[in-house]
Amino acid sequence: MKVLVLGGAGYIGSHVVKAMLAAGHDVTVFDNLGSGQLGNLFPEAKFIAGDIRHADDVNAAFARGFDGCVHLAAYKAVGESMAEPEKYSVNNISGTLNMLNAACAHGCKNVVFSSSAAVFGSPQYVPIDERHPTDPESYYGFTKLEIERFLAWYDRLKGVRYAALRYFNAAGYDVDGRIDGLERNPQNLLPIVMEVASGWRKELQIFGQDYDTRDGTCVRDYVHVADLAQAHVNALAYIAKNDRSLTVNLGSEKGVTVTEMVEVARKITGKEIPAAYVGRRSGDASALYATSALARETIGWAPKYSDVETLVASTWKVYQKYKAPGEKK
């Protein structure tokens, strides 16, 4: 298939491109390199520099003719979305509408969308399945949920088939070591742990130690980015073959506490990784993890790399190539 990957130079996007190429697709990346990086591009994929906020850019890209697209071009920082919702409205929501309209105008009927567990908000029960009520706590999560609703309408009205993939906590790096671009200004637990291990930060702050969990720290469902990437390949095949849309959770189904993650990181890096327990971060749920039964049944998805050791080791391998953020050794 001819596949356009919007946001294909980003952290998850580059892994998706790798998986799409491995599956034999003819891949084109569309990216404004705002957070994506040239170094994440694959020579086997074509590249279009463009911005989803500009309808002309998106139209020109889709005019090349694609059977399917994967849409990952979005802002994703929860805290920032609460402080600067305008950015998220324009990029995530308007940008997606540009993408959907261009896809329809040029006959691209299959859309794989990178959604998020943030659509659920505070869990009413775990593991979280697809029927769990959606009530996002952040504006970021709201944008993802709204886009899922637009997709459902475009399915009804325009015959677009979509797969909304609700990622839990994406982590890890390409196990072959081909993708090694570090995210700029990372906000998530594992990159921050790696920055401490690398000596770029003095210590890790652990947000809360009085949660009702096995060691008092929050439980999350970390899923390897290569496993997520494979889900995009499977989902695209599914919606194209069955002419049916799909919304699925993608998690490893294994809850890991913050302390457990740090312990494994200490073992694998051999570094002390100083950590201080500080107060809870507002909006954090104590335990969030998925059931991915539906993804297993529909798209035959089973995570292969989402054990904590592989998550940490594949990330550490990349961090070891750098002497400072953005500066390779």
Which single residue is written with the structure tokens 């794989």? 112
Contacting ligand UDP (CB under 6 A), which of 4, 41, 69, 189? 189
Q: Binding of ligand UDP at residue 223 (CB under 6 A)?
A: no
C-alpha to C-alpha distance for 180 and 198, rounded to whole angstroms: 15
Which single residue is written with the structure tokens 């889900």? 231
Total residues contacting ligand UDP by CB under 6 A comes to: 14
Tell the smallest beta-carbon distance from residue 286 to ligand UDP (Å): 8
Contacting ligand UDP (CB under 6 A), which of 37, 92, 169, 247? 169
Q: Binding of ligand UDP at residue 198 (CB under 6 A)?
A: no
Please give the structure tokens belonging to residue 279. 């107060």
Q: Binding of ligand UDP at residue 218 (CB under 6 A)?
A: yes
Tell the smallest beta-carbon distance from residue 186 to ligand UDP (Å): 9
**Which part of the chain contacts ligand UDP (CB under 6 A), choosing from 43-51, 153-161, 200-208, 266-274?**
200-208
Tell the smallest beta-carbon distance from residue 273 to ligand UDP (Å): 12
Q: Are 97 and 147 in contact (CB under 8 A)?
A: no
**Which part of the chain contacts ligand UDP (CB under 6 A), choosing from 28-36, 105-113, 199-207, 300-308?**
199-207
Q: What contacts 149, CB < 8 A, 6 or more positions away?
A: none
C-alpha to C-alpha distance for 114 and 249, rounded to whole angstroms: 11
Contacting ligand UDP (CB under 6 A), which of 192, 240, 273, 293? 192
Alpha helices in the chain (DSSP H): 11-22, 55-62, 78-83, 85-88, 95-105, 139-158, 189-197, 225-242, 258-269, 293-299, 308-319
Tell the smallest beta-carbon distance from residue 102 to ligand UDP (Å): 30
In the chain, the amino acid numbered 222 is Y
Q: Spell out the SS3 assignment of 283-324.
A: CCCCECCECCHHHHHHHCCCCCCCCHHHHHHHHHHHHCCEEE
C-alpha to C-alpha distance for 310 and 110, rounded to whole angstroms: 32
Nearest C-alpha neighbor of 66 from the set 97, 42, 45, 88: 45
Binding mask 245-264 for ligand UDP (x = CB under 6 A): -------------x------
Q: Binding of ligand UDP at residue 273 (CB under 6 A)?
A: no
Q: Binding of ligand UDP at residue 213 (CB under 6 A)?
A: no
- State which residue, 103 or 197, has the beta carbon closest to ligand UDP: 197
CA-based end-to-end distance of the chain: 38
Q: Binding of ligand UDP at residue 166 (CB under 6 A)?
A: no
Q: Which residues are catalytic?
A: 140
In the chain, the amino acid numbered 176 is D
Tell the smallest beta-carbon distance from residue 176 to ligand UDP (Å): 24
Contacting ligand UDP (CB under 6 A), which of 67, 137, 183, 284? 284
Please give the structure tokens belonging to residue 32. 């404004």
Q: Binding of ligand UDP at residue 229 (CB under 6 A)?
A: no
Please give the structure tokens belonging to residue 297. 């049944």
Q: Binding of ligand UDP at residue 281 (CB under 6 A)?
A: yes
Percentages (nearest 5) of helix, strand, coil residues in the chain: 40, 20, 40
**Which part of the chain contacts ligand UDP (CB under 6 A), choosing from 7-15, 32-40, 177-185, 187-195?**
187-195
Q: Which of residues 44-83 bind ligand UDP (CB under 6 A)?
A: none
- State which residue, 67 or 284, has the beta carbon closest to ligand UDP: 284
Tell the smallest beta-carbon distance from residue 278 to ligand UDP (Å): 8
Which single residue is written with the structure tokens 């040029």? 106
Site residues, ligand UDP (CB under 6 A): 169, 187-189, 192, 204-207, 218, 220, 258, 281, 284
